[in-house]
Structure formats: C-alpha cells, structure tokens
Structure 1
Amino acid sequence: MKKLITAALLLAVSAGMAQSNLQEKRLQYAKIAESGTKAEKEALAQELFKLAKSAKDEGDLIFASNFIYQLGHENSADSIRKEVIRKFPKGVTARDAYVTGFYDLESTEEKEKRFKSWVKKWPMEKAEGDKLSYDYIIAALARAFAQEGEKEKALSYVEQMNERFWRAQGYIPVATSFLQQGDTAAAIPLIQTAIDDAEYYINLPKEQKDNKAGFAAVGYPGYVGQLAEIYNAQGRQTEALELIERAIALTPEQAPRFSSSYFKGLEASGRKLEALQQLEILYKQGTFGYKDKMTELYTELNGSGQGLAAYFTRLDQDVVKAICDHIKEMEVYKPAPAFELLNLKGEKVSLASLKGKVVVLDFWATWCQPCIRSFPGMQAAQAMYAEDDAVQFLFINTWERDAAYKTNVPAFIEKNGYPFEVLYDDQKDPDTGEVLAAKYGVRGIPAKFIIDKEGNIRYFLTGSTPNVDYIKLEMRELIEAAKKPYKR
C-alpha cells in the first residue's frame, strides 16, 4: 500500500511539473513570437517543426501548430492540423473541424442536422472541461429557431447549455426574439436567469473570482436594463426601480451603465429631478440623444426654459473636460514605426510621405464588430477634417482571417460607402517577420494611434463606442493636441 501511495504521489508531482513546464514554455515561446529577433524566431520554428514530427500526443501537435502559425508559417501550421485530424480522428481538432461551416449553412434544419451528427460522433458528456464549444452551436441553434418562431425548439436548445458563466449569450438573444414577437411571458424567465447567473458570479468571494466570473458580470447592466424596460412598459414601475436600485447597490462601480434604464423608471415614478440627474450622467459620457428629454425635464422642474442655454454650455464643458482628462491616460511619446503599405488601388502609401501631417491610424478587420461599430463615428471625425490638409486618416486592415481578404475588404468598404483610405497590413518585415500591427504593439483591435507632424506617436487608444458625437469630440481633442508641440 505504501508503494502505491508513493507511486501516486510521484505521478501527481510529475504531472504538476509537466503542467508547470508547459506553461513556462508557452510564456517563453509567446515572448519570442511577439518580440524576438528574426534568428530567434527561426530557431524556435525549427524546434517546433521537430516537435511536430516526433509528437505522439494531439495536445503537443496543437501546441506546435499554434506557435508555428504565430511565427508566420501559416501553410505549415495548416498542414500540421490536417495531420492531427488524420492521426486523431476522434480528437478535439477533428471534432472542431467537423463542425466548421456550421454558420454558413443556409437553413436552420441543415444546421440542426449537422449538430445532431456532431454530438452523435463526439458526445457532450465525454467532453468534460470543454463544453463551451458545444454551447456556441447550441446558442446559435436556439437563436435561429427563436427567430423563426419555433418557440418550443428554441427553449429546448437553451435548456441544453452547459456553462453557467456563458449561457446568457444563448438566453438573451432568444429572449430578445420573443420580445420582438410580442411574447413577453416567454422572454422574462430567460432574462431573469441571465440576471441570476450574473449575480451568482458577482457575489462570489474575491478569491474565487476568475475570468469566467468577470465575463459573466459584463452583461449584467444590459440584462437588468432589458427587464426594467419590460416592467416599465407593463406599468410595473416600482418593480423596475427596485430591480435597478438593487443592481446599483450590488455593483456601484457600474452605476453609470444603468442610467439609461434608471431615468425612465424615475421619471415614471414622478422622481423627475433624479431622472434628469441620470440623463446628465449619460450626457457627460457623450450620449447626446436625450437632449430633448433633458430640455423637457429642465423646463418642467424650473417652470420655464430660462437658463437652459447656459445649463447645456456647462454640461458641454464638462464633457470636454472629461475627454481631456481621459486622453491624458492615452498619452505616449515615441517614434512611430515606419511603414510602406498598399492601398485598395494597389498604390504605395508610406508614413514618411505624410511627414508634416497629423496622422490617425485605425487598425481594424472586417470580422471585428467593435471596429465596425466605431466606423460611423470615425467617418464623422474624418469629415470634420476634410478641408484640413494637415490631417490624414488611414484605416489599416489587419489580422484578416479569410484568404480572400483582398476581395472582401474593398467589397465591405464599397457596400457601406465609407470614404476611407484603407491600407493592407500584410507586408512582413524581412528582419522580424512582423506585420505593422505587431510593430506598433497592437494586441487587440480596434486600436488607434495619433501621430504628430514629426512622426511621433502621441496617443494610443483601444476599444470603441458606437456613439458618433462622442467619437467626434474625442478625435478632435486628440488631433488638436497632437498639432501642438509636445511638452515634456
């Protein structure tokens, strides 16, 4: 018995060391892939090719192919993945490849048939620890059936979802479809479940919170707002207010995200001063669509519109001040990496040729929804400087996943009527093997850089907002600041 216990302990220690070593390797390889020299990258690639040839385990092959892809050997990585599927026909890679194309199928019936065939070959109960892949497909099927009015089928699929931290991604689209069809009774339990799931993770002790908990909590204000809207429409203002005020008490740091729903409940309950205060919060965040409602509430509370112009002037000053404070966090000062890329017409555009201008770079991709959401605002910002020859906007198309990107990108731009100067970020540096996004340190898109007339990066910002007016204000402050000499 003692020998068995000792063997078990040794096995556990060995497994722990193996996991630790793998993590160390992953970090080491990631560092080389991101910022290593050309020689270091090539040496790593050769090491990974050897690993791929000798590997007996699917995980090792996937590990090798992922890093080989990151190092710029896309074709080799694809070949290794094909070999993985051949060697491990019941493995994870083969499983995921089998369902590839699911979203391209035209009918929901075809999608359901593909899904059923998939789970028959790779049962969910055998995918312990890896059920999120199934949830993606289940959520898509549930949404498709809901949109087609197949209520029972939609509900049967959402009930099959596995991961509690993620299942709101299936529940909420289905609930939204039900609401659009006028079936509020079917929608409310789904939204309530999404709220309950988020609150479960929000209420976890700090030491138990992880990335899953963070993800689950992100949509919480939206779920609460959606249910509050329903309650308000049903005349259940008291319940709507209780719901929102409870949510604010639970997540006070997210209070501004509840303002849109909160003001409606406050107004309906006759708490008009508080309703106006919530609209002021939204206004200062750059949401200007409620200006008419603010005018109405201001006039009602004050008995007249006297002082209204000064009131909005003060709010506008607060908005600009908040933006100025915000852009200080984005401030940098370093030489912008040089580039020479092709535009949609096949013409070369270089940073050097634009010296003397403030240049706005916007890194984006056709699959990136946050990028696309910001485009109307970026279009409006570009229009502000249409007559200013000292400012140039460049939209750097990067990280495209489809080999036919040189067809897809121009089609996307033309379809949406964007008057953008688009450059393809597909020229790898001969020394480092990096594309421009990597040279600029881009780790997520959209990513925007404001470069001054001397060729120095002055501001770097990531993320997006769909708010056109806010983007215009923000871009104006960034560009005008970059026009001025840098103060150390």
Structure 2
Amino acid sequence: MLQLKRIVFFVLISMNACAFAQDVDDQESVLSVLKKQTNAEKRAEKIKSIRENGTAIELFELIQFYGTDDEKSEKIIKLLNKKYPESQQARFARVMSFRNLESAQEVEEHFFKIQQEYPDANLDFEKNLVAMSFAEVPDAEKMMSYINTIEDPVYRVGALLSSLELFIPIDQEQALKLATQNLDQAKKLKGQMKKNNLSEAIYNEYLKMYGKLLFKSGYDEKSFKYIQEAYENLEDTSENREVVEIYAYLSASLKGNYEKSLPVLAGMIEAGKNEKMYLDQVRLGYAKLYPDKDVEAYIDSLYQKFIEKIKSNVAAFSVNKPAPDFSVIDVNGKKVTLEDFKGKTIVLDFWATWCGPCVASFPAMQLAADRYVNNPEVEFLFIDTWENVKDPLSHSKKFLDKRGYDFDLYIDAINPETQLPPAVTAFEVTGIPAKFVIDPEGIIRFQLEGFEGDMEAAAEELAQMIEIARKGF
C-alpha cells in the first residue's frame, strides 16, 4: 500500500521537489496564514480570495490546509487543474488525490478516472505512482507497462529506479533482470549530463543501484564496472558508504589493491561487518602490507573496538521505569498482555508498513531475533501499529512474507471506544520505529526511537541491551 507519505517521498525524490518549492515574493505562506487565523469569518474570506484569484502555489497550499478533508481537497484539486493545468502544483495535487488507497488495483482504477477527467494532461507523475504500487505486489509486467508509457525520458528512468528500489527486497533476481533490460535507457542519460542536472543525478543513482544489485547477486566482475564509475562520480563519499565499501572490497578481491582498500575494509570490521568475505580480504591485505605483524591480533583489536563502541552507545538509551500494562493481538487473534511474558526479557518493536525507517531496521532486527531464536527467556514482539487499512493483520503478514521476514507479529488494533491503538498509546510513543527492552521484572531498561546506522551495529546494540536487561547490570 502506498499511503500519502510514501507517495510524497518517492515522487519528490524522483522529480526534484525544487521544481515547485518556490518562494512567493518572500511573503508568509498561505498555509501559515490560514493556520494562524483564528477568526472563522476572516479565514473564510481569505479562502474565497484564494479560490478566485490565487496562484498555483497558493491553491496548492490550500489543498494542504484542508488535509484529510477529501471533499474540500478534491474541489481545489479540480480548480487548480482547471486554472493552471500545466503547473507542477497541479500535477502534484493530482498525485495527492491517491492518498489512502490500499491496493494496486485501487490505485489503477483511480488513475483511469484521472485519465478521463484530464485527457490532455501529462500524467507521468500518476503513471509512476501506479508503477510503484504494482512494484509492491510485485507485478513486473504491470509495473513496466506504466513505466514504458512515461513521456519524459529522464523521468522514465527515475520512475524505473523508484519502482526497482521497491521491487528489490521482494524479488532480487527479477529486479536484476529488469535493471539489466533497461540499462540502455539509463546510459542514454549520460550524454545529457552536461545539459541536465537531473539527468546526472538519476544516472548516478541508477549506477549505484545496478552496481549494488549485481554485487548482492554475486556478480563481482560485472558489479565492479558500475560501482567503480559510481564511486568516481561521488561528490561526498561520507554519504555513500555502501558504494565506498563495495568498491573497496572489489578493488581488493579483484585487483589486489590493498593500499587504499585496507583502511576501508578495516573500518567495516570495526563497524561490525564481520562476514567471512570481508575478514578474508583484511587478512590478505594486512599480511601483504605488514608481513611481520600478527594478522589475527589486528582483527581482534578491530572487533574489540566495535564492542567497546557499542557498549558506550547503549548507555545513552538506558532508562529505568515500570512498563505499562499493554495489550496486543497475536496472529491467531488472541489478546496478550505484559503479564503473559512475566519472567522473560522482551523486546517490543513498534512499526508500520508505510514507515521507511521501520522497514530499514528490519534486517538488523532479524539478525538480533535470530540470535535468540533458541532462547526461551527472550521474546521479540514486532507490533504493527498506526496502520490505516481495513485488515492490518492480513496486510502486515503479506508485507513481511513478501520480504522474507519471519518475525513474531502482533497487531496494535484500534480501540473502538478511544479510536486509539492501545499499546503504542500506553508507551506514549511519538514516532516509529520505537523499541523497548523490558526485563523479567517488567521494568523498561532501554528505549529508543528511529533508525540510523549499520545493520550489524544496530543488531549488536540490541543484543547488548538484552544481555544487560537479562542479567540485571
């Protein structure tokens, strides 16, 4: 399901939000003025003035002011498209009309209505949105059928990139086939890079995506070609660590270039990336550059630095307060409470399918959960909350199954009386992902929100928190 937040995120990224984030003669925005106006009569006068004489930007801000009032928003969307049909605001406003749609079929049906209502409009935005909704199914044929009809060749590649990013976690093999089949479209952008900054940005992002996809699929030689070009095009290596790390590994393993690669590889071990493939290259590189020194002692020192760093980080999330009595629903429809886990250390992870950082944290959470899979004293509760769908359980199960996660799923179902999800409300959560580590006595020992950083480091941090909660120190 592509709710409004994800719609906005993907369309802004792929179409360069600056196109319609313009200043209005440095005046205070309409949205701000309307929000501050407490006099209903004056606010109504301002709205009437905007409807009659407002610019495209002002009408767009009026849509934002109406928020979830679909009836009023729809009227302004139609007015904006009538008065300023070619504006970026009109196009983006049409995209906003897709909010709250739950399935690819609903998104497609809404697209057909827009086609009929605006037969002369450029619908590249909308086609991208429908393609992304089918990428989440995943349905490659439907996805590509919409991408291939996008008129703007630059945006077409950007739309393909957006859809493939959604497709990769679900079906990596098929995603690689699609990325390879459409590689020539991306390469055509290379010739336009001096004239078009957006072409350059999308081409470089495609290079990164394709190189990483080849690497994850085991095609090291092919990957190196694209990763090397992506690496050479980087303006800031600190913001593209994955590309830098893959380039370092491939430079070492394929070219024997350890002088520049070893520091990066060593940094990866120090950050917790202790897979055999990386350890092997560190061993080879260190032995080659420092033949008289102890390789294993060096690797052990890197790992110890990692552990010490994790231990120091963990302290920042330490709390000491009783956990509220909460209730959630398990996959069998049974209500469970805090009392059901008495005597165990439990990890609560509040998340939602539409939450990007939540999904980004899943690989780390899977690593941590796998570590305790045979330990009956530790339980992980992955609690889906704040969903806006008819059947959260079915929706969440499909979402996790498609991505290969076998979490112990629980649902924070809306209380019909309060219209609030009880568990996340009891914990006073203000943002997700939100994680709580509760000790066997029912005391919250650690609490953290959001997700940033490496999968390995995040998993180790959580493991350290669990051990502290279990052992009481």
TM-score relative to the length of structure 2 = 0.62
Which structure exhibits the higher relative contact order, with contacts defined as CA atoms closer than 8 Å and separated by 6 or more residues?
2
2:335 pairs, out of 322, 338, 348, with: 348
Check whether the contact 1:459–1:478 (CA below 8 A) recurs between aligned residues: no
Check whether the contact 1:358–1:390 (CA below 8 A) recurs between aligned residues: yes
SS in 1 for 2:436: strand
1:104 is matched with 104
2:70 pairs, out of 48, 57, 81, with: 81
2:33 is matched with 21
1:325 is displaced (CA, Å) by 3.2
Check whether the contact 1:228–1:244 (CA below 8 A) recurs between aligned residues: no
1:253 pairs, out of 223, 231, 238, with: 238
2:169 is matched with none
1:368 is displaced (CA, Å) by 4.4
2:274 is matched with 288
1:316 correspondence with 2:303: yes
Structure 1 range deviating more: 367-376 or 84-93: 84-93
C-alpha root-mean-square deviation of aligned residues, in Å?
A: 5.6
2:423 is matched with 436
SS in 2 for 1:181: helix
Matches within 5 A, 1:379-458: 379-386=366-373, 388-410=375-397, 418=406, 420-427=408-415, 430=418, 433=420, 435-452=422-439, 453-458=441-446
1:181 is matched with 180
Separation in 1, partners of 2:409, 2:334: 11
Counterpart amino acid of 2:272? G
Counterpart amino acid of 2:268? L
Check whether the contact 1:145–1:153 (CA below 8 A) recurs between aligned residues: no
Counterpart amino acid of 2:257? R
1:338 is matched with 325
SS in 1 for 2:346: strand
Q: Deviations over 1:51-96 (max 9, x none)?
A: 99xx866876864553xxxxxxxxxxxxx52465479755677775
2:151 is matched with 157
Q: Deviations over 1:213-240 (max 9, x none)?
A: xxx9x969946966998xx957997x97
Identity of aligned residues (%): 20
Separation in 2, partners of 1:409, 1:282: 33
Counterpart amino acid of 1:264? L
Check whether the contact 1:361–1:449 (CA below 8 A) recurs between aligned residues: yes
1:460 correspondence with 2:441: no
2:466 is matched with 479
SS in 2 for 1:120: coil
1:275 correspondence with 2:261: yes
SS in 2 for 1:426: coil
Q: Deviations over 1:381-436 (max 9, x none)?
A: 23433454543321111122211223333555677572515242423784x95643
TM-score relative to the length of structure 1 = 0.60
SS in 1 for 2:151: helix
Gaps of 5+ in 1: 1-11, 27-46, 67-79, 126-130, 202-215
Separation in 2, partners of 1:107, 1:441: 34
Counterpart amino acid of 2:281? M
SS in 2 for 1:301: helix
SS in 1 for 2:148: helix
SS in 1 for 2:381: strand
Check whether the contact 1:449–1:458 (CA below 8 A) recurs between aligned residues: yes
Separation in 1, partners of 2:160, 2:181: 19
Separation in 2, partners of 1:223, 1:409: 27
SS in 2 for 1:345: coil
Separation in 1, partners of 2:333, 2:143: 47
Counterpart amino acid of 2:326? F
Check whether the contact 1:225–1:244 (CA below 8 A) recurs between aligned residues: no
